[in-house]
């Protein structure tokens, strides 16, 4: 892709898809597996994530409503994502605790703020840099890049969990039970009493490892966000295309006169042709 900013925009959308999809899946999963929380209670930590995502998405759009500030908001969004994921990777792995950590709500709030800010900014970048004829295609590419990143992220998170289960629980449980855990991870409370604490530690370690991997991915996104930096970015708008694409080609006064005379000559020639045709019809 020739356009540097659009390439970076798609890459950052792809990277943002990782924590966006993975967070929605594994944050409730952690509460269910470790704390034996119900589906309703396990989804409560997602409320601050989704709420702040909506708020920061509005703020990201408002920041570029009059002046294009996307080069600042994209860096801010990626930075908050990295910070939130880094904090999530530091949650306690104490196997004796069965409650949902209070810090989980604060960390998901930070992550949600970064997600909303980034997603609103990548949409604005695509709208201001894509030519009008490719505006729909650019928005579709943004949506597909986020979905692709999220799908790969969920697959990576599942692999990390299964590897932890194989390494730490594999020698302690029958093979048939191990295969069931790969397909359907069960809460630690369903294990024999002697293994429940060990299962909580394994699940907590796996969650922290998943968050660490996402932290490194978003950190690469922070570095890549420098590619959207422009000294004179296009003003806010839809379908303006690259700088200069919305400007009509300049012509001199003499060239304009010549173009008008050529048009008049063409019209006169067509008129004479029509009159000559009428004369021939009358002669017949």
pLDDT value at position 253?
60
pLDDT at res. 273: 60
Residue 27 to residue 173: CA distance in whole angstroms: 26
Interior angle at CA 205, CA 200 and CA 206, nearest 5: 100
pLDDT in tens, the chain (284 residues): 448 888 888 999 999 999 999 889 999 988 888 888 888 888 898 999 999 999 999 999 888 888 888 889 999 999 999 999 999 999 988 777 778 888 999 999 999 999 999 999 998 888 888 777 777 888 888 889 999 999 999 999 999 998 988 888 888 888 888 787 777 787 777 777 778 888 888 888 999 999 999 999 999 999 998 888 888 877 776 555 444 444 445 555 666 667 777 777 777 767 666 555 554 555 55
DSSP secondary structure string, 220-270?
HHHHHGGGG--SSPPPS-SS--STTTTSPPP--HHHHHHHHHHHHHHHHHH
Q: Which of 116, 133, 115, 135 is CA-nearest to residue 125?
A: 135
70 vs 63: CA distance, rounded Å:
8
How far apart CA 62 and CA 56 sit, in angstroms, is 10
- Among 70, 46, 17, smallest CA distance to 229 is for 70
Rounded to two decimals, the pTM is 0.77
Provide the pLDDT for residue 276. 57
**Whose CA is closest to 213, among 26, 43, 4?**
26
How far apart are the C-alpha atoms of 117 and 77, rounded to whole Å?
5
Cβ–Cβ under 8 Å, residues 215 and 89: yes
Eight-state DSSP code of residue 130: S
């Amino acid at each position: 892709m020739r356009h540097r900013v659009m390439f970076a925009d798609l890459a950052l959308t792809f990277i943002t898809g990782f924590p966006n999809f993975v967070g929605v899946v594994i944050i409730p999963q952690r509460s269910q597996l470790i704390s034996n929380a119900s589906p309703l209670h396990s989804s409560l930590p997602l409320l601050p994530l989704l709420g702040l995502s909506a708020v920061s998405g509005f703020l990201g759009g408002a920041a570029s409503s009059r002046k294009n500030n996307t080069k600042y908001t994209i860096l801010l969004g990626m930075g908050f994502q990295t910070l939130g994921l880094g904090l999530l990777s530091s949650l306690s792995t104490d196997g004796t605790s069965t409650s949902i950590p209070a810090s989980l709500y604060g960390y998901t709030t930070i992550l949600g703020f970064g997600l909303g800010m980034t997603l609103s900014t990548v949409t604005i970048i695509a709208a201001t840099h894509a030519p009008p004829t490719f505006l729909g295609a650019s928005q579709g590419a943004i949506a597909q890049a986020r979905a692709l990143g999220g799908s790969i992220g969920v697959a990576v998170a599942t692999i990390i969990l299964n590897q932890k289960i194989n390494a730490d629980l594999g020698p302690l449980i029958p093979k048939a039970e191990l295969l069931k855990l790969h397909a359907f991870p069960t809460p630690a409370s369903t294990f024999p009493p002697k293994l429940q604490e060990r299962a909580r530690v394994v699940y907590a370690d796996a969650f922290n490892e998943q968050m660490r991997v996402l932290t490194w991915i978003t950190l690469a996104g922070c570095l890549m966000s420098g590619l959207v930096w422009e000294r004179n970015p296009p003003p806010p708008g839809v379908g303006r295309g690259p700088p200069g694409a919305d400007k009509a080609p300049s012509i001199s006064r003499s060239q304009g006169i010549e173009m008008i005379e050529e048009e008049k000559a063409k019209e006169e020639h067509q008129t004479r042709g029509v009159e000559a045709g009428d004369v021939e019809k009358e002669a017949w």
